[in-house]
Structure 1
Amino acid sequence: MRLKLSPYQQPRSVSWCSSSDIASNNYRQMRWWSVVAAAVVVAQVVEGARILMMAVSGNNSHKIFFLSIAEALAERNHTVTYLTGIKTTEHRTNIHEVFLPDVNLFTNFSKLNIFETDMMEIYSDYVARLPKTCVEALASKEVQKLQEEKFDLVMLSVVGMVCFYPLIYKLEVPFIHMTPNDFHSSYSEQSCNPFFSSITPNFLLDLGYPLTFYGRMINALVTVAESNTLSQYMYSRTEEECRKRHLWTEDIPSLAEISVNGSLFITNINEPMNDRIIPFVPTMVNVGGIHCHPAQPLPQDLEEWVAGAGDDGFIFFSLGSNVKESFMPEEHRNALLRVFASLEQRVLWKWDQDTMKDLPPNVRLAKWLPQQDILGDPRLRLFVTHGGRMSIQEAMYHGVPLLGLPVFMDQRYNLREVERIGLGRRLLWEDLTFDTLRQNIFDVMNNRSVKEKVLQRRELMRDQPMPIKQRLSYWVEYVIRHRGAPHLRCPAVIMPWYQLYNVDVWLVVVAVLVLVVAMVSLLTFKLLLALWSFLSSFRKRKQE
């Protein structure tokens, strides 16, 4: 281990002092222990730890999340080996990127016309191809070479990475799960945190909160199906592929057994964004918004263009990094152009091509834009977004009203939440017309209530007990210091579901109640029958 226990955590003898001794030596002791504490902190930072972070499968937004985690740890002087499926050229101190080509299924999304593709079909195809693709990544020489190195901790993405559990087992070090998403039902076993389908809608379903009886029924059925997909299909298929590639030996436990031994589960949850209190066990660490940062000045040419908008300000329109904007249906593009041309505001539009026909003079195109610097500009009036989780967090951090046009996956769910808590509006593409788009733009942009709620959420998001990066670093280092911190793990991990939710208890209670009611009913029936027989006999004797 590179991190040592502080003197406060080491066994030490205890001597008792009188109150007068304490009073006389108080100042000297305070100075002494403050120097020792400072020295311990410095020693921990200087020595650092060797951390292996594995997040091969994921899109660009996912990498922003994982890279923000890596940077937070690198700033603490830890050395991070980052296994990724998205190549970058920028060098970062204390971060060594290992790029695995052709094993990231998310890279195919940007090549698809998402506007005309059934997303459930894409999701099904992703799940079907994942076991084999994951094992190909595990079998690569870059990954196998990692077994020769020494690490103090492994951090593993739960997005398409279940085949890496055998590698973690061989390294014999504590490991931490990470997700760039919300807490989904499929993460319940890996996190050892119960998932309540009565509270949290599945991200694949467009269900409002609070859930109706119908919503809870559908949500519960999908939750069960999703959990079975992970435990029965994904694990079994992956183990089968591992054996085919000779990456599995008999001494290695099953994937399911290894998966529940994670020390922490790091999520991309930010409480002000969810607005629903969800019960979490101590090993759940929420670091949503870890990538958010104060805005920097805009590039000079963009600054001049924004300044030219005057008091009317400007609108920012982006569909994120996974959508090829030029695939947009022509009727939708025309509706957007007509509405933008009718506005007093200028419109900054992220577009994947250099030019666009019929472009109004108040609209500017760009293939790439410094999104957070734009969102932090006080002249921005509205953010028209696809509803990606990272974009919504950035908008909340900078206090910008939202108009959402969800494209795929969890974006409908995200924007339904945005609309529910009053941060903006959601407009589906099938409802997009000149009138609906223009009306929604003005409804959000000129709505005082929306602006007040956005500013309120900004304050909530920034009002943290400690900076998010500091919270992350503390818990990661805590796991290293305490050798996996097994004392934090919830006992739910070793309990069958029927015991965890007391199903067997309630079945017995119901059975006993039914039995008691049945016995009382039978006894009452017999008493009534006996009484009727007595009265009939008495009446008969009286007549005689």
Structure 2
Amino acid sequence: MKLLVIISTLVGLCESARILGVVPTPSFSHQVAFRPLWRELAKRGHDLVVITTDPENDPTLNLTEIDISSAYELWAEAEIVRLLEELKYQPLKLSNHIKWVSFQVCDHELGNPKIQALLKNESEYFDLVIVEFLHPIMLAFAERFHCPHIGVASMELPTFLHNIIGNPVHPIAHPDVMLPFEGELTFFQRVMSCVFNFMMYLNSFIPMEEDQIVERHFGKNMPPIRDMMLKFSMMFVNVDPAFNLRPLGPAFVSIGGGTHLGSAKPLPKNLQEYMDGAEYGVIYFSLGTNVKSSLVPPEMQKLFLDTFKELPYRILWKFDEHNPQDVPANVKIMNWVPQQDILRHSKVKAFITQGGLQSLEEAMFSHVPVIGIPFIYDQEKNVHKMMTRGLGIELDKNKLTKESFKAAILEVINNPRYKEKAVELAKLSRDQPMTGLEKAVWWTEYVLRHRGAPNFRNPVLDMPFYQYYLIDVIGFLIGLIIIFWFTCVKIVSSFRYIFVSCLHFSTVKRKIQ
């Protein structure tokens, strides 16, 4: 028996790997999406080093975290949320500004002493790098440690990234994540989507200072970033395969569908008493981690509070930093809330949210109807997608009135079809052969076993632009048609000439006779 234990232990050690995880975005929602993956890989015996802005500091796991939370200061200085709102109708300018902010954040993070020590340690090694694909500068870690890499994303990829990794791209069937429409598009929306995709595609080729940043921290002789992007082994994207209906390449793995959800935990005593004591129920209100409630215009804050005052329900509002003024008696303000466990409480009647992907999933799996008020980036698309499926009601923050806000709240609470639809959607999402986490772990270990996944490389990645879009074939066929048409015209013209000549000759001959 002891021998079997020793053998199994040795086998486990042989199969364990050293993995580097890199998630640079200073946003909790981007970090929490991959925590279950780090934890599960660590539990399976792999040795992980994770570069993160939000370390868990769990001593029970075989997990080393490098804290880069100082990047939050740069994120705040860049006022990224305000710019996402102001520039949403100027996509090129917005895209370039987001790239510029990403470069500054990555440059700052790579200067962290612990990361520098990691890079300069000649004896350091990793078998695999898992890196957030939205920040391609960080792909240089895979080059530095001469190992395969897996790209990850906490949200749907922009169309130009789908293009780069070889997924089929159709601007009408699958508009970009930044465009707030889907389904049957109007003519104007189809034109807008095509132009937007073309502009983003061209813009992705415009070099900025990313290669200089890579050279500064990783040294010379590094390949161009675009070449590093094409070397990915797998792409894990936190989208639900039940609702992300688009053609995908062989190396693309949808790991969404509640992957980030944890097991239920008891609420703090004060919160439990507040929830239990709500005679008519509770409405939970949160704008997530990126959209700060304190930065919402005062007139909108007043609109929210005036509406809540007229409702019989208790309101729990996650409000960062300073509390609003003139808070009604039925409204409780908290700086931090265990959102998943709040939504699981039986007294929760509705969830008012900005439309973050994780928040919408948490509402759906908790069977809570939603009032979606999107603010930035993919939130409009997320809200529109789920609301068209019946999860709740979508409101435009720029056209919001107390009457429309109150009517939407009462509608989703009093009409049972929204809760019934949440139950139906949750059941549909769960009806998968594997959970998102199981898929992510299995494919991670597949890449480790085979030192990459070149057999899953989409052949379109090696095709020139003109071949992928059949420009040469179409040109050749059009050329054949033109030649055939021209030949037919010449033949008909020749026969016509002969016929006319013969007719003329016959006429002349009769006249002579």
Quick check: 212-221 or 107-116, which moved more? 107-116
Amino acid in structure 1 at the alignment position of 2:451: R
Kindly state the Cα deviation for residue 282 of structure 1 after the two structures are TM-superposed.
2.3
The equivalent residue for 1:414 is 382
CA contact (8 A) 2:159 2:177 kept: no
- 1:167-316 matches, cutoff 5 A: 167-188=141-162, 190-234=164-208, 237-243=209-215, 245=216, 247-250=218-221, 252-274=222-244, 276=245, 278-288=246-256, 289-310=258-279, 312-316=280-284
Corresponding residue to 2:51 among 71, 78, 83? 83
CA contact (8 A) 1:318 1:350 kept: yes
The equivalent residue for 1:335 is 303
Quick check: 177-186 or 352-361, which moved more? 352-361
Q: What is the alpha-carbon distance in structure 1 between the residues aligned to residue 278 and residue 41 of structure 2?
A: 41
Amino acid in structure 2 at the alignment position of 1:434: K
Kindly state the Cα deviation for residue 138 of structure 1 after the two structures are TM-superposed.
3.2
Q: What is the alpha-carbon distance in structure 2 between the residues aligned to residue 217 and residue 497 of structure 1?
A: 22
Give the 3-state SS of the residue equivalent to 1:231 in structure 2: coil
Distance 1:415 1:518, change over 3 A: farther
Unpaired segments ≥5 residues, structure 1? 1-34
CA contact (8 A) 2:26 2:69 kept: no
Kindly state the Cα deviation for residue 388 of structure 1 after the two structures are TM-superposed.
0.7
Kindly state the Cα deviation for residue 300 of structure 1 after the two structures are TM-superposed.
2.1
Distance 1:516 1:367, change over 3 A: same
Amino acid in structure 2 at the alignment position of 1:337: L
Distance 1:402 1:360, change over 3 A: same
Residues 136-158 of structure 1: CA deviation (Å, up to 9, x unaligned): 43354422322431211111111
Q: What is the alpha-carbon distance in structure 1 between the residues aligned to residue 169 and residue 261 of structure 2?
A: 28
CA contact (8 A) 2:84 2:94 kept: no
Quick check: 51-60 or 193-202, which moved more? 193-202
Kindly state the Cα deviation for residue 434 of structure 1 after the two structures are TM-superposed.
1.2
The equivalent residue for 2:99 is 127
Amino acid in structure 2 at the alignment position of 1:260: L
Q: What is the alpha-carbon distance in structure 2 between the residues aligned to residue 443 and residue 535 of structure 1?
A: 86
Unpaired segments ≥5 residues, structure 2? none
Distance 1:280 1:40, change over 3 A: farther
Distance 1:92 1:65, change over 3 A: farther
Q: What is the alpha-carbon distance in structure 1 between the residues aligned to residue 139 and residue 105 of structure 2?
A: 15
Kindly state the Cα deviation for residue 265 of structure 1 after the two structures are TM-superposed.
0.5
- 1:90-169 matches, cutoff 5 A: 91=59, 93-100=61-68, 102-103=70-71, 105-108=74-77, 117-119=86-88, 124-147=96-119, 148=121, 149-160=124-135, 162-169=136-143
Q: What is the alpha-carbon distance in structure 1 between the residues aligned to residue 42 and residue 339 of structure 2?
A: 24
Distance 1:530 1:52, change over 3 A: same
Quick check: 525-534 or 332-341, which moved more? 525-534
Amino acid in structure 2 at the alignment position of 1:70: W
Distance 1:476 1:111, change over 3 A: closer
Kindly state the Cα deviation for residue 452 of structure 1 after the two structures are TM-superposed.
2.4
Q: What is the alpha-carbon distance in structure 2 between the residues aligned to residue 337 and residue 57 of structure 1?
A: 32
Kindly state the Cα deviation for residue 220 of structure 1 after the two structures are TM-superposed.
2.8
Distance 1:123 1:258, change over 3 A: closer
The equivalent residue for 1:64 is 32
Residues 388-436 of structure 1: CA deviation (Å, up to 9, x unaligned): 1111121122222111111111111111111222211210111100111
Distance 1:449 1:497, change over 3 A: farther
Root-mean-square deviation (CA, aligned residues, Å) is: 3.0
Give the 3-state SS of the residue equivalent to 1:471 in structure 2: helix
Residues 152-194 of structure 1: CA deviation (Å, up to 9, x unaligned): 111111122x223333213111111111111322323553333
Q: Percent identity?
A: 29
Amino acid in structure 2 at the alignment position of 1:494: D
Give the 3-state SS of the residue equivalent to 1:349 in structure 2: strand
Distance 1:113 1:140, change over 3 A: closer
Quick check: 315-324 or 288-297, which moved more? 288-297
CA contact (8 A) 1:46 1:77 kept: no
Residues 258-279 of structure 1: CA deviation (Å, up to 9, x unaligned): 22111111101112343x2x11
Kindly state the Cα deviation for residue 353 of structure 1 after the two structures are TM-superposed.
4.3
Distance 1:363 1:526, change over 3 A: farther
Residues 113-158 of structure 1: CA deviation (Å, up to 9, x unaligned): 5797445566543323433542443354422322431211111111
The equivalent residue for 1:17 is none
Amino acid in structure 2 at the alignment position of 1:131: F
Distance 1:342 1:426, change over 3 A: same
Give the 3-state SS of the residue equivalent to 1:416 in structure 2: helix
Give the 3-state SS of the residue equivalent to 2:66 in structure 1: strand
Amino acid in structure 2 at the alignment position of 1:257: D
Give the 3-state SS of the residue equivalent to 2:205 in structure 1: helix
CA contact (8 A) 1:267 1:285 kept: yes
Amino acid in structure 2 at the alignment position of 1:171: F
Amino acid in structure 2 at the alignment position of 1:49: A
CA contact (8 A) 2:34 2:260 kept: no
Give the 3-state SS of the residue equivalent to 2:393 in structure 1: strand
Q: What is the alpha-carbon distance in structure 1 between the residues aligned to residue 217 and residue 411 of structure 2?
A: 60
Kindly state the Cα deviation for residue 492 of structure 1 after the two structures are TM-superposed.
1.7
TM-score, L = length of structure 1: 0.83
Is residue 457 of structure 1 aligned with residue 387 of structure 2? no
Distance 1:135 1:533, change over 3 A: farther
Q: What is the alpha-carbon distance in structure 2 between the residues aligned to residue 41 and residue 494 of structure 1?
A: 43
Distance 1:519 1:399, change over 3 A: farther
Kindly state the Cα deviation for residue 85 of structure 1 after the two structures are TM-superposed.
3.2
Question: When the two structures are aligned, how many residues end up with a matched partner?
Answer: 501
Amino acid in structure 1 at the alignment position of 2:198: V
Kindly state the Cα deviation for residue 386 of structure 1 after the two structures are TM-superposed.
0.1
